[in-house]
A and B are shown apart, each in its own frame.
Chain A
Amino acid sequence: MTLLRAYLTGLRHGWFVLGYTLCVCLTLLITAPFLMITLRSVGKGWFGRLWLPPQLTWEWYRWAIEVGNIPEVMKNTLIIGAIAVIVSTIIGIFAGWAFGRRQMPGKELVMAVILLPRMIPPITYALGVAKIFYTLELVDTHLGVALAHVSVCAPYAILVLSATFEGLDERVLEAASVCGANTIKRFFYVVLPLIMPGILASMIFSFTHSYNEFTLTLLTYGPNTVTLPVRTYLAVGDGYWEITSAMAVIMVVPSLVILAIIQRRAKPEKLVGGFKGV
């Protein structure tokens, strides 16, 4: 009996060790490329079979900023991101209200269509977008690129916000009416504060998707609307790996900041569900 228990404990222990090891391996697998890029962006004369760069330098960052025109590119990325966030969230609030609060005919079908751009290969979808945008002369405008991004950002905003609206307690709204609040006051004093976590979540999702979006940008950008992912990709073509690495590291920084905000401030369940009327 004791032997069996010891065996079982050992087995459990064994599984635990195995699981732990796998987790460490996965962590390494995920972090290794980051490490690689970071080292490369500060390494000088790192050729051949050397394990570590012989010399460290900030030079590549200066090159990236000056030659790669990163400030301008960052500005483009943020403008496009901001437009995409605002448009997606506004769409998300109205569509989320409709999905979450009302019985809508053909709700499943609409949902499926909305999610389509994420399901089919991005390049297929992007080609269609490009063709339309050339016709409408939206190519190489901040609004145009942002609208292309909205097609993938808005579905996330809608999903998040319809869950938020579903979690909104009807009777709390009725209570506000009985207390004397008209529709507008009810929206600003009760509905808006209660869906705020959902709106923030939708904004964060939309921004990261716009910020990281590559395929759609590649087919709709122009000289005035180069974004960070596209600029980095173009630098790869130029063949300067050190400068490209520096750009890649610069690009990662805002993502890490957002990740930190999410981890610190917001509980995921709070972001999606909104408040329940406890």
Chain B
Amino acid sequence: MVDAMIEFRDVSKRYGTLVANDHLSLSIRRGELMTLLGPSGCGKTTALRCLTGMNHPDEGRIFLDGKDVTDVPTHQRELGMVFQNFALFPHMTVADNVGFPLMIRNLPKEERTKLVTEALRLVRLEGYAAHYPRQLSGGQQQRVGLARALVYHPKVLLLDEPLSNLDAKLREEMRFEIKEVVTRLEITAMYVTHDQAEALALSDRVAIMNRGRLQQLGTPEEIYESPNSRFVAEFIGLSNFLDGRVSGVRGATMTVAASGLAIQTPVLPGVTSGQKVLLFLRPNEIELLPAGATSDANIFPAKVEKTTYLGDTIDYRLVFGEGADLRVQTDARHRYAAGEAVRVRLPRVRSWVVAD
């Protein structure tokens, strides 16, 4: 790719027998905000540390703005980074923290003051220049961290779980703040997190990692709407899975026998009768109908096992077919009680072929 700002080319990193990055190839476009998303131990942090130079990959090369930086020491990589635990310098004031990268680069005093003021205005902390980090709240400290990372206009901004140490409400606010700042500066950013909601809300593209490999790469919509594996589907949003076998293919639809039901779903390329597939249904894409509703394709009788009131939605645990569990979330307009017989309509069923 010509306009890649960050590029991992076939990067592998092992710790003893543990493979943290397994031939990882990934490129982040200029001006793009990409999230590396995955559970702990998936290799996202190792990838980040390879990029900052705190780890050296065993194999592969890393490029920054077209230049091979694999052997360049951290302090010469011109990066801006925001840390999970803020990692501010406790012995310096906010202004000195933010001005640190400029002082290291021997910028003249007036220019330093100008840039620091600018950066503090960007994160709305103008009045706090003379404070020490310990006098600030967690959210303010992280904004100082963001200002310090951006003050010298680095080529790329790295964010290592920057919101994990903040409480839930603040996390949501900061999410938008980071997104806004990054968009305004048109900076290339790599955001590492295990929080799927953060990833969906912030990213231009999401890279989902699993066991050191790239599992899926795509926009938040692509990742959510068409996950390429059970791992991704489970990791992003809620999901139901049903094992089944293809019982017939007709034009663009195929029929899958699962839990004693004949479920219609769009045909998979090259699928043949008798092949094993995994059906995947989002709980909010299933409709609940009264027991007397008309019978039609993909409408099946079910029984409510348990209901949970969640405020804006109601979460139902249903049983249908030959005892398969189904989780459904609907709005609270019509409520069904536990034990009640209902019908479920499955307007949208996705599937993958599974090895037998």
Given the interface pairs A176-B100, A180-B104, the reply to whether A190 lies near B89 with Cβ below 8 Å is: yes
Q: How many whole Å from B154's CB to the nearest CB in chain A?
A: 9
Chain B stretch 123-150: residues in CB contact (< 8 A) with chain A:
133-134, 148
Cα–Cα distance between A169 and B89 once the two chains are bound (Å) = 10
Closest Cβ–Cβ distance, residue A56 to chain B (whole Å): 50
Kindly specify which of B78-86, B231-239, B302-310, B331-339 makes contact with the partner chain. Answer: B78-86
A172 proximity list for chain B (CB < 8 A): 87-90
Closest partner residue, chain B, to A186 (CB atom): B75
Partner of B74, one of A177, A193, A276: A177
Cα A259 to Cα B52 in complex, Å, equals 46
Question: Would A189 and B90 count as touching, CB distance under 8 A?
Answer: no
A159-188, CB under 8 A of B: which get 1 and which 0?
Answer: 000000000010110111111111001100
Q: How far is the CA of A194 from the CA of B90 in the complex (A)?
A: 8
B-side contacts of A176, CB under 8 Å: 89, 100
> CB-CB < 8 A to A180: which residues of B?
75-76, 78, 101, 104-105, 152
Residue of B nearest to A181 (CB): B104
B contacts with A, residue count (CB < 8 A): 31
Is B184 on the interface with A (CB-CB < 8 A)? no
Interface range for A: 20 to 34
Whole-angstrom distance between the alpha carbons of A114 and B53 in the complex? Answer: 37
* Contact, CB under 8 Å: A185 / B104: yes
User: Is the C-beta of B54 less than 8 angstroms from some C-beta in chain A?
Assistant: yes
Asked if B67 lies at the interface with its beta carbon under 8 angstroms from chain A, I say no
**Closest chain A residue to B132, Cβ basis:** A278
Give the complex CA separation of A172 and B83 in angstroms. 9
Q: B91 interface residue, CB < 8 Å from A?
A: yes
- B-chain residues with CB within 8 Å of residue A99 when the two chains form the complex: none
> Is the beta-carbon distance between A178 and B89 smaller than 8 angstroms?
no
A-B contacts at CB below 8 angstroms, number: 74
Decide if B81 touches A178 in the complex (CB within 8 Å): yes
What A residues does B80 contact at CB under 8 A? 178
A278 to B73, CA, bound (A): 27
By a CB distance below 8 angstroms, the chain B residues around A178 are 52, 74-75, 77, 79-81, 158
Cross-chain contact of B100 among A174, A189, A276, A277 (Cβ < 8 A): A189
In the complex, chain A residues whose CB is within 8 Å of the CB of B81: 175, 178
The 0/1 profile, CB within 8 Å of A marked 1, for residues 37-56 of chain B is 00000000000000011100
Q: What is the bound-complex CA distance between A263 and B231, given in angstroms?
A: 60
Roughly how many angstroms separate A29 CA and B128 CA in the complex, as a whole number?
52
Q: B52, B77, B104, B105 — which one has the most chain A CB atoms within 10 A of its CB?
A: B104
Q: Contacts A169-B87, A174-B87, A194-B91 given: A179-B133 contact, CB under 8 Å?
A: no
Q: Evaluate contact between A177 and B75: CB separation under 8 angstroms.
A: yes
* B148 lies within 8 A of A277 (CB): no
Q: Are B104's CB and A179's CB within 8 A?
A: yes
Is B87 in contact with A171, judged by CB distance below 8 angstroms?
yes
How many whole Å from B234's CB to the nearest CB in chain A? 31
B191 to A: closest C-beta gap in Å: 15
Can you list, as one digit per residue, whether each of A234-278 has a CB less than 8 Å from chain B (1) or not (0)? Answer: 000000000000000000000000000000000000000001111
Residue of chain B at shortest CB distance from A178 = B81
* Inter-subunit contact A171/B83 (CB<8 Å): yes
Contact residues, B170-207 vs A (CB, 8 A): none
Contacts of B78 in A (CB 8 A): 180
Given contacts A182-B75, A278-B90, A278-B133, contact A171 B100 (CB under 8 A): no
Return chain A residues, CB-CB under 8 Å to B105: 180
A276 to B89, CA, bound (A): 10
Give chain B nearest CB distance to A275 CB in angstroms: 5
Cross-chain contact B101 with A179 (CB below 8 angstroms): yes
Query: Min CB distance, A204 to chain B, in Å?
Result: 20
A193 contacts across to B, CB distance below 8 A: 91
**Docked CA distance A178–B158 (Å):** 10
26 of the cross-chain contacts (CB-CB < 8 Å) are A172-B88, A172-B90, A174-B52, A174-B54, A175-B81, A175-B87, A175-B88, A176-B100, A177-B75, A178-B75, A179-B75, A179-B101, A179-B148, A180-B152, A181-B75, A181-B104, A182-B73, A186-B75, A189-B104, A190-B89, A193-B91, A275-B90, A275-B91, A276-B90, A277-B86, A278-B90
Task: Give the 9 A-B residue pairs with the shortest CB-CB distance, closest first.
Answer: A175-B87, A179-B101, A177-B74, A171-B87, A180-B104, A178-B81, A193-B91, A275-B90, A278-B134
